[in-house]
Amino acid sequence: MTSPFKRYVRGFGPARGLKGLALVLALLVPLLALLSAPVWAFALLALVLAGAIAGLPGSAAERMLARRAAQKVERGATEGRLHGVLDALSAATILIDARGAVVHANAQALSAFPALRVGTPVTHAIRAPAMTAALESVLKGAPSARLDLVERIPLERSFDVFIRVMGGKASARGAAHAVIFMPETTDARRLEAMRVDFVANASHELRTPLASILGFVETLKGPARNDTAARERFLGIMEEQARRMARLIEDLLSLSRIEMNEHIPPSGRVEVGSSIRSVLDALSGLARERGVVFETQFPAADLAVRGERDELLRIFENLIENAIKYGQSGGRVQINLERVEDAAVGASACVKVRDFGPGIAPEHLPRLTERFYRADVNASRGQGGTGLGLAIVKHIVTRHRGRLGIESRLGEGSTFTIWLPLVPLLEKDKP
């Protein structure tokens, strides 16, 4: 059972408990002094010490503790409101203290830089020399800094970075000292790059058919004006060149659209086997015309991947059509679908398209997915190719977080393999 004295002391708290103890000593020691005269000096000293003890932890200490508590509560409320404002921003925003450690990061910042952790330096998550130099300048006294940041892993993304000091004591650990505001500029930069690439590539690839058409027009207006046979032949060539330009422009626009959305993962669900079968049905006429037969091997249960059906159909159409056109000498094209565990992608739908044509020389393989790169320029143009098919395939596969592999040997044909991450089993089983 708690004694009245202990309840009295606890009721006053630490500071008031010391006051009570000092008061007890001040009353008790004089009483002892009355019983023993030699201790009168000690009694007087006790009274003085008791008064001093009672005064030391009194109102001044209490006021100091109260001020600290109030400041802490006020600071917490202010930081809470500030964090709420930052969380509502659409751009990645990070608060750092005077040592460069993260105080707060909003959802957009955590999504862009998952390695961000409160209390750890922001440079542990954003490893860029320009970012480090800008932070150092601000932490050493500069009021603000600006830089362009480009992250290339896992996908290329760019940001305009603004760093500005918020004020306050620079030495306060854990207190917000500066704000890092990072609006993303990926789409704007890609749009500008696409515009430049489009102009350069279009001017290069369109020059030949345009020159051909203009030459035939001049001939038809001049020497061949009344030559019926020449007119029919020239008009046929002009139509072929015009269609080539139309295919080229269509592929360029398709590639631009795919690159624009490459950093946005698809959200649909696609059955891979049924998609490939629909492509085979559409290309069956071309295969019969070229004397090519399809050999397929699909699992009993179809495999579902997260993707956009139109883009995946474009992949399968490009690969199978290329196998028909460039591998027709082999007389057959194999299309296999199976479930595999890939080290990079994980549980995947693996699609293999193999032809038995002349194959591709090894020095060409690393560059096959570049825009307008052709292992055999004459053969590609003779088949109506634009030089963009495999570039389109690569960018679609990248957007679907998959992987593309190419194997080929001269005289043995080529194999193009795609790994696409499967829809998780629990999600796949949902109706």
Rounded CA-CA distance 62/65 in Å is 5
Question: Mind listing the pLDDT tens digit of every residue in the chain (431 residues)?
Answer: 455 444 444 444 444 544 454 454 445 445 444 444 444 444 444 444 444 444 444 456 545 554 555 455 445 555 667 777 788 888 899 999 888 999 999 999 998 888 999 999 999 999 899 999 999 999 888 889 999 998 877 778 899 999 999 865 444 555 678 899 999 998 888 778 767 776 776 777 778 788 888 888 888 888 878 888 888 888 888 888 888 888 888 888 888 888 888 888 888 899 999 999 999 999 999 999 889 999 999 998 899 999 999 999 999 999 999 899 888 777 899 999 999 988 888 889 999 999 998 888 888 888 888 877 777 766 666 666 677 889 899 999 999 999 999 999 888 899 999 999 998 754 444 44
**Residue written as token pair 């004006």:** 225
Contact call for residues 171 and 90 (beta carbons, < 8 A):
no
pLDDT of residue 22: 47
Strands 332-342 and 346-355 come out as antiparallel
Amino acid identity, position 78? T
Rounded CA-CA distance 14/11 in Å is 9
- DSSP-derived 3-state class of residue 99: coil
Contact call for residues 204 and 372 (beta carbons, < 8 A):
yes
Contact call for residues 177 and 101 (beta carbons, < 8 A):
no
Rounded CA-CA distance 403/398 in Å is 7
Sign of CA dihedral 192, 196, 199, 205: negative
What single string gives the DSSP state of each residue in 8-63? Answer: HHHHHHHHHHHHHHHHHHHHHHHHHHHH-GGGHHHHHHHHHHHHHHHHTTSHHHHH
* Helix and strand counts by DSSP (H, E) for the chain: 12, 12
Rounded CA-CA distance 348/345 in Å is 7
Contact call for residues 402 and 265 (beta carbons, < 8 A):
no
Q: How many CB atoms are closer than 10 A to CB 228?
A: 8
**Residue written as token pair 């993260």:** 102
What is the token pair recorded at 204?
């290069």
Contact call for residues 209 and 242 (beta carbons, < 8 A):
yes
Q: Using CA atoms of 253, 257, 260, 261 in order, give the dihedral in degrees to the nearest 10.
A: -160
pLDDT of residue 418: 95
E-strand spans in 267-331?
A: 269-271, 293-297, 304-306
Map out the domains of the chain with their CATH numbers: 4-57 (no CATH), 80-184 (3.30.450.20), 187-264 (1.10.287.130), 265-431 (3.30.565.10)
**Residue written as token pair 């490939």:** 276
Task: Work out the end-to-end distance of the chain between its first and last CA atoms, rounded to an integer number of angstroms.
Answer: 66
Q: How far is CA 392 from CA 39, 170, 208, 265, 272, in A?
A: 102, 51, 23, 16, 18
pLDDT of residue 13: 46
* Beta bridge partner(s), residue 164: 144, 179
What single string gives the DSSP state of each residue in 167-217? Answer: -S-TT-TTS--EEEEE-B-HHHHHHHHHHHHHHHHHHHHHHHHHHHHHHHH
- Burial of 111: CB neighbours in 10 Å, binned 0-12, 13-18, 19+: exposed
What pTM did the predictor assign?
Answer: 0.53
pLDDT of residue 75: 54
